[in-house]
Structure 1
């Protein structure tokens, strides 16, 4: 059985990046891991109260705020999503390794994820969003492309056996002053693995890249299995992306 990535919601996932404060430069497409087993045993429908002094949601009063102070970013997610503690993370393991090996090939930090009741995952998630540094690339156009590419391939098609559709990045700006580029990626007919909880073989990813208040390049990413009844609607995804904003603790 292939290794499966571990989602740490409420605790730092040390395999992601040590202390959760930085990641390696974003690599090009390569073998990856898959979603995810939650380590916490909290009710997956529980929506924790925002921390005192934390930012308020901008989408709706009942939405939750994910904060990433290291990268200076916040974004909102729907009420039923699981929101991890600051510094927590989500890692994809190399599935070509024998079981028991946990070589991390990609990661997001400051994450939130959702679970679909219709998919037999036993509490496992079918999608995740979070942030990472993007280094070693010349501009936000290429960075957004890389984020989307890595997420969909590492998460759902490690063997590069499906059909990948990755159009060029487009300029991005929202109402909160975040500007850069956005890229969308999809994979269809990927080989079913332990990460394909809904059994569709299809997935999508979004990569957004921009400069934060310190002029460091930040990548925001969202990746999820698609082709089943409970997947987030396009409107919901647009609301999440539209809520990305700068955050200073």
Structure 2
């Protein structure tokens, strides 16, 4: 299941499940982005939600899951989470530098100061706070046992979302409304990576699994080898795709999904993964051509504050 919330040190609040608290459906695009109350499920099978936002994902399991894919790089600290506007906020300025401007006219800038990256998205995307985390919980562990609360498959930071509230559902009638966006994109650190190809391959399957197929892995098709790629700004790295076909997941928001990741190094020499995930086989599916145009705008942004 997808979830979005600001990072924090405490994941259990007075014995309550911070990730799943009873909530009412919220209108798409509204406020309250810092609340777990706006759980978004991008699509995971098994009590999963389709394309939501608000969480962290850690796939578990097989050898082809490439270790932890850098999932332990998410550093928790209490932060705010109000949505960013089309213009770059002051926090998006590198130390002593100017605010980042879009490289595509009319698009919006998405900056992740933690990892020193930036890219642009079309004007119909919602740019979230650079302090926000987005990811997927492991639905197999979402149970009444407090020890399992908050278990994740993977997470990205400083995200942007396409059509927030694209699908709203409470399939198991437990009062937890899953808000699923059509697509989402963001970046994350990959400290465990040994190459840009590893950084790309370690995340791409996790994204499709967490959002669209869990607990099934057989319906996922992914690149076995990452391909070289260079953005328009000259950032060199590797890309990898993954897609699901005929996922067995059920529910109102169930769809197949796709993901692309771009592994590269930031200005400090640290490995970073740019990640985009979205629904497939639907009327408003995000075209691959648009995805590649967004990817082409990826660039470095000042000195990263994380390492």
> Normalising by structure 2, what TM-score?
0.64
Q: Radius of gyration: which is bigger?
A: 2
Separation in 2 of the partners of 1:32 and 1:134? 28
Matches within 5 A, 1:126-137: 126-137=182-193
Distance 1:161 1:215, change over 3 A: closer
- Of 129, 134, 151 in structure 2, the residue corresponding to residue 103 of structure 1 is 151
Tell me the equivalent position of 2:8: 14
Tell me the equivalent position of 1:233: 287
**Secondary structure in structure 2 of the residue aligned to 1:221:** strand
Tell me the equivalent position of 2:134: 90
Tell me the equivalent position of 1:75: 119
Tell me the equivalent position of 1:26: none
Matches within 5 A, 1:214-225: 214-225=268-279
Separation in 1 of the partners of 2:101 and 2:283? 30
Deviation of the 1:232 alpha carbon: 1.4
Aligned-residue RMSD, C-alpha:
3.2
Tell me the equivalent position of 2:88: 50
Separation in 1 of the partners of 2:181 and 2:110? 17
Deviation of the 1:218 alpha carbon: 0.4
Deviation of the 1:37 alpha carbon: 5.3
- Of 139, 142, 165 in structure 1, the residue corresponding to residue 198 of structure 2 is 142
Deviation of the 1:239 alpha carbon: 1.1
Superimposed CA distance per residue, residues 94-134 of structure 1 (whole angstroms, 9 cap, x where no aligned partner): 10124563222211001111127875568531211111111
Distance 1:125 1:16, change over 3 A: farther
Q: How many residues align?
A: 224
Tell me the equivalent position of 1:20: none
Distance 1:117 1:92, change over 3 A: closer
Superimposed CA distance per residue, residues 122-149 of structure 1 (whole angstroms, 9 cap, x where no aligned partner): 8531211111111323211122111212
- Of 261, 264, 270 in structure 2, the residue corresponding to residue 207 of structure 1 is 261
Tell me the equivalent position of 1:246: 300
Distance 1:132 1:117, change over 3 A: closer
Distance 1:180 1:247, change over 3 A: same
Distance 1:182 1:155, change over 3 A: same
Tell me the equivalent position of 1:59: 104
Unaligned runs of 5+ in 2: 12-45, 56-79, 91-97, 170-177
> Normalising by structure 1, what TM-score?
0.78
Separation in 2 of the partners of 1:37 and 1:243? 23
Tell me the equivalent position of 1:36: 52
Contact 1:81 1:113 in 2 (8 A): yes
**Of 115-124 and 133-142, the range deviating more from structure 2:** 115-124
**Secondary structure in structure 1 of the residue aligned to 2:180:** coil
**Secondary structure in structure 2 of the residue aligned to 1:14:** coil
Distance 1:84 1:173, change over 3 A: same
Separation in 2 of the partners of 1:208 and 1:15? 29
Separation in 1 of the partners of 2:270 and 2:140? 33
